[in-house]
Structure 1
């Protein structure tokens, strides 16, 4: 390909692909419903909205997962003989035949990929990196290099099963990104069984699979595949774990031999497991323990993963991408080590996910002292229940559990958080939507 048009170029994954294509000398244009800083940083022509008139003399159109293939811009490209590639098909092509590591899983894949990027950099391997988040070490969400290729591989896209890498890492697997019965969407699996078999296809196609010994789904799915296990019962595990408010320390052990003391700048027991996944993947890739320990120690965390944004009236403001009950639970557990009153601004992400999991979200949020629930960030989805009604359900379920909870719209929530902030508070913004903007405004506006 020589000339490429990227739809949805403001998205974190699409902008990363555009960055990497530009670095390879490909001419790139893009479009997005709401172009922003990522699109601007690319320095390419970017059109607002999606329209067939955006297409000029491109030879390839790159389409993000949620956009249907009967979209007018996609149909116009096909009518003109322009090749149409899904995001995951392009990523598979960029990784194919290269020494590579691919990281997937319901939770922790961005952080684990970021840890591996730090390790590869410490090993001096000049890695090529595709990341679903912002990492200051790159900087941004991608890095072009001549060394091994490292990519976050999103399991929400059913096409991920066709990606081929040298080392495939699966952090965990839960029932997420599954369409309700009778509904289909390009960024959802038709059933839990379809998700499981897509994961099997990804792991089976790798040179070696790195999976957690404690995950029953992945242990079942990886039967008969060349695999290496991390965590309790595996070949790599953590001993003498010390969890703290800003990070953790543990002894990294491989097959009964201590490799050394690992230090993390990111808090939470879940990040110890992410570090074990990254460490074993690096060992499987042939790296030495010294580079692994240095890389883990240097890893600063990726953007929107327990990211300290600032303060308001002495209260700490932390932003996190948690958008599944398991992630919310892990983030609140990590927040507990700060010793503050935990108050949450929670924005559920995706209508179909929230319809299926609203009770589980209430359970996961229950350890907080207070929760303000914002309207669901629908991500363009439509469902039987309105975004506001679903969020009110979560707030009501929390109140039934004795948790102070309320439903507020964005500006109301911001004003409430600012007016009631106290020095002993932690205001924690949670969700994969635009709640991150509320965190920034809460910490930095008057």
Structure 2
């Protein structure tokens, strides 16, 4: 098979490309802004890689692979169909790849990348040589790992086609009304309603032999009633006892079906990561992995890039980057930052206009956990609209609730940190856009 991959620089598309190359398939591609991931793929034997999108990119490929946002009337898609190429969306290819081996899949509104990374670490500790696909990057293998063992993937619920994926053990970390169309109009990477999202999650769960979900979520408990479902957390099949949250990690005893298995140590902070570890641990136990490998794998996990990633120290202040782009994620990240004992300051860049329009009040509530917040213009991810109005509204709402907040543009925020950052503080960049450029620039990196 020779595959032309559109959007090749994207973390998920580049991961699929890496796995295709490892299996011996040819890979070409294009992207509006080819970068380091495309360069890495060229070094692995991909190519050519084109800048921009054009039907002329198609040469001798037999398959066109599309990321979720590409519409059917795109010129490259139309040319591929005219030539008789097989046209696959990324989730269709992932579905086919996971069907080839015993498999595990992780979906949910929050914690997908971390939970998948923890499971990968567990499978590696068990010596199972896993094949892994992630929507982020973790040490030591980045966003993908080719192996001859079971297949493990982060299954992105923002793509409505995720409900077609079948795995042996499925994990649903949680469920909130994210990636839901604000006006009910159909969009490639939005569900038309929360009800439609719930139906898609249910379809995904029904296809699995075993389904892991949080016992604390009454919506998921009702949704999965009658399925082979295994809850985790208080009241579930696996839970934490003697939990101790530490500045940059935690430790607890894992209890499974009433049996105390042993101590687990995590090197990533926050109660939300204990939640993720319980999900990964229960999924691994259901998959047949012995507890010592679960214990070792969780201890060895060092976190994902842009998930409470410690970038360095500037003028005595700790700089941390996090991908949090939903109020629940913002809250969890700021709670983890508060556990360091440092004064918590935040740079928040809202992500996507539709999400921000729906959740701006909830964002303001979550941001109150920081002593000070700099709110940046919305990272629109290609959407048309005013980048600043909603961001100003969030800053004003934080102020009206008694918090300290300023609306600043990126360069203004960088200048503010250069003047104000100091010892005893942790500055956390929050968002799925390019907000981390500010902290990297302060440390002398790309800005």
Q: CA deviation at 1:391?
A: 0.5
Deviation per residue, 1:120-165 (Å, 9 max, x gap): 000000000001111112x111000000000000011100000000
The alignment partner of 1:237 has SS state of: strand
Asked whether the equivalents of residues 307 and 321 of structure 2 are also in contact (C-alpha less than 8 Å), the reply is yes
The within-5 A match list for 1:188-337 is 188-337=190-339
Does residue 110 of structure 2 align to residue 107 of structure 1? yes
Moved more, 412-421 or 124-133: 412-421
C-alpha separation between the residues in 1 aligned to 2:301 and 2:261? Answer: 18
The alignment partner of 1:179 has SS state of: coil
Q: CA deviation at 1:209?
A: 0.7
C-alpha separation between the residues in 2 aligned to 1:195 and 1:404? Answer: 35
C-alpha separation between the residues in 1 aligned to 2:135 and 2:184? Answer: 30
Q: CA deviation at 1:382?
A: 2.6
Structure 2 unaligned blocks of 5 or more = none
Residue matched to 2:56: 53
Paired residues in the alignment total 442
Q: CA deviation at 1:436?
A: 2.0
The within-5 A match list for 1:339-358 is 339-358=341-360
C-alpha separation between the residues in 1 aligned to 2:418 and 2:164? Answer: 47
Q: CA deviation at 1:393?
A: 0.6
Indicate which of 160, 170, 174 corresponds to 1:158: 160
C-alpha separation between the residues in 2 aligned to 1:103 and 1:356? Answer: 26
TM-score (norm 2): 0.97
Asked whether the equivalents of residues 310 and 444 of structure 1 are also in contact (C-alpha less than 8 Å), the reply is no
TM-score (norm 1): 0.98
The alignment partner of 2:305 has SS state of: coil
Does residue 67 of structure 2 align to residue 64 of structure 1? yes
Deviation per residue, 1:71-118 (Å, 9 max, x gap): 111111111111111110110010014200000000011100000000
The within-5 A match list for 1:93-104 is 93-104=96-107
Structure 1 unaligned blocks of 5 or more = none
Residue matched to 1:406: 406
Residue matched to 2:34: 35
C-alpha separation between the residues in 2 aligned to 1:374 and 1:23? Answer: 40
Residue matched to 1:18: 17
Indicate which of 342, 365, 368 corresponds to 1:366: 368
The alignment partner of 1:273 has SS state of: helix
The alignment partner of 1:444 has SS state of: coil
Does residue 11 of structure 2 align to residue 9 of structure 1? no
Does residue 386 of structure 2 align to residue 381 of structure 1? no
Asked whether the equivalents of residues 184 and 193 of structure 2 are also in contact (C-alpha less than 8 Å), the reply is no
Asked whether the equivalents of residues 322 and 331 of structure 1 are also in contact (C-alpha less than 8 Å), the reply is yes
Deviation per residue, 1:348-406 (Å, 9 max, x gap): 111110011011100010111111111111111235xx111111111111111222211
Residue matched to 1:421: 421
Asked whether the equivalents of residues 317 and 443 of structure 1 are also in contact (C-alpha less than 8 Å), the reply is no
The alignment partner of 2:388 has SS state of: helix
Deviation per residue, 1:2-53 (Å, 9 max, x gap): 1100011111100000000000111001111111111111112211111111
Moved more, 213-222 or 103-112: 213-222
C-alpha separation between the residues in 2 aligned to 1:94 and 1:104? Answer: 17
Q: CA deviation at 1:182?
A: 4.0
